[in-house]
Chain A
């Protein structure tokens, strides 16, 4: 186990270096620059700005400079939000996104697993059909549509729920629903197919032949086996959802990381693009290690190599 974690750490660091390198050079291949949007910059000012941030140096020099700072955990300074460290922007934005994200993941897991199992148990019946229609719709409808519809109906028309920010628990309801719809639908479908597979396994027949009730059969024998594909999906899901959804954060005006990430790209805010990308990559790697450990706990057949 210890050896395994060390191995994963090393491969994680290598992955991060690759991600950072690729992002860095891709970023410079995209036309445009951070100061182009601002009108009436005299050539002198532009030059002064570029030299201040080191943008006048050859790309390869900039790259090694960046990597040197990265190695010390310094993600640099934002070009657009003058004077703010990228580290600070992430430190402030991430907890906001992560909190909504964790709530959404928990809700998706609960409903996804229950609905998917229910559909599998009632295969071919009305319940199954209803759940699957809803799940398919949940996958097909983009979150900005869900968010807008919610905002318009409950927020504006009925005036039941607050629409801006996250100051009270009530504020969480709409963004969380908008965020969790897709993963709930996805997990339901995943769960249904794996549950169907498990229910047809020989050990379920053994369980029945022992005289166990359907409750024990389902919750003890089937669920733990059927949930394994969901655990695998959990790694990327957690990483993506916790770094925030651009759409949902924009629509509900939430000061999370997701909105920062996208605006950093349109702004060509190079350090912020690098910072958020590397942070996302780090989170994915970290979550996957966690998921591997959880997987091992659920399925004793898994061995760490």
Chain B
């Protein structure tokens, strides 16, 4: 087995706001091996960014890890001091953000902003860092490097700025690149170019990538593993084929139904997932998806389903699977053993 690069175990993270405790991450576990490309999908507010920030020690005030551990590249993030985190950020792990229009400082040149991170984490002097910055621009597909390095962010297009963000992220050859919805703010043709670039970079450089998106289409073409998040939980995770062809969770199914198909006929409509997202201030006691799930049962409302292992790396947290699992076991052993079994039979209709 390959080396474990990232190991998030039972992470609970909350924002302690004046309105109350916002439970952004509610007991999530994610593992990632070196060289892997992990996709994190889920709708807005499901906790994707918070997960990514937590492993860089970037959790915004008033957020705090309440429980669980985050291990990255041999560090226990929970225990790291700020200066240790600083040495790691931009060096061992970097991130590119959703909106390239606002992610670069408007008053400094592109060259300045790329050099800065190189000079911070390496011993290169200004001249060498400048040369390296030029190389990085070539790497991310920007020509006319000398001119670009002298320009300010407002003189570049959105796609170009996202390429610059990628150059900054790659400057110190990180072990892990986090791309937090890197194409959401870009128009479609530019989206495709940026994704193409990321794929190309992935094959050139040996690094791991976490690709955060709410677009399953993007994930399919890039990732080896997928974690589906909903309401601060990882509701299903597995390799791409498991998620696309053998999905188990009701939310994942809804998500897949909502992808536009290129060859769809005119009247074949997209099926949006009905209902509103989870209220993180008052999270439900049971399955977070219950209020929107058409298969919801009584037990779903009161108890959180545990993970069922579909295969070695395909897990899903849904009572339907527990039921199937239980029934299979019950058939084998010939007797009931879980008190929850009583509840399985009682099917509550959709809300």
Contacts from A to B (Cβ < 8 Å): 201-203, 205-213, 220-221, 224-225, 298-301
Contacts and interface: CB of A to CB of B under 8 A. Distances in A.
Nearest to B105: A203
Contacts of B120: 210-212
A120 to B, nearest CB: 14
Contacts of A300: 106-107, 152, 154
A201 to B, nearest CB: 7
Contacts of B88: 211
A3 B95 CA distance: 44
B97 to A, nearest CB: 6
A208 B61 CA distance: 13
Interface string B282-318: 0000000000000000000000000000000000000
A202 B97 contact: yes
10 contacts: A201-B102, A203-B105, A203-B106, A207-B105, A209-B95, A210-B168, A211-B90, A211-B121, A213-B86, A298-B107
Q: How large is the interface on B (under 10, 10 to 19, 20 to 34, 35 or more residues)?
A: 20 to 34
A154 B116 CA distance: 50
Contacts of A209: 56, 58, 89-90, 94-95
B107 A224 contact: yes
Contacts, number: 68
Contacts of B14: none
B104 interface: yes
Contacts of A301: 106-107, 152, 154
B293 to A, nearest CB: 35
A220 B108 CA distance: 9
Interface in B38-76: 56, 58
B87 A211 contact: yes
A202 B97 CA distance: 9
Given A211-B89, A212-B120, A298-B107, A202 B152 contact: no
Given A211-B85, A212-B116, A301-B106, 5 more contacts: A206-B97, A207-B105, A211-B121, A213-B86, A300-B107
A205 B96 CA distance: 10
A207 B116 CA distance: 10
Listed from nearest, the 8 A-B pairs whose CB atoms lie closest are: A211-B89, A210-B90, A211-B90, A202-B102, A203-B105, A210-B117, A300-B152, A211-B86
A211 B97 CA distance: 15
Contacts of B165: 206
A208 B120 CA distance: 12
Interface in B79-123: 85-91, 94-95, 97, 99, 102-108, 116-117, 120-121
A238 B219 CA distance: 57
Given A209-B89, A210-B168, A299 B103 contact: no
Contacts of A207: 105
A206 B120 CA distance: 14
Contacts of A299: 106-107
A224 B108 CA distance: 10
Nearest to B104: A203
A203, A205, A207, A213: residue with the most chain B Cβ atoms closer than 10 Å: A203
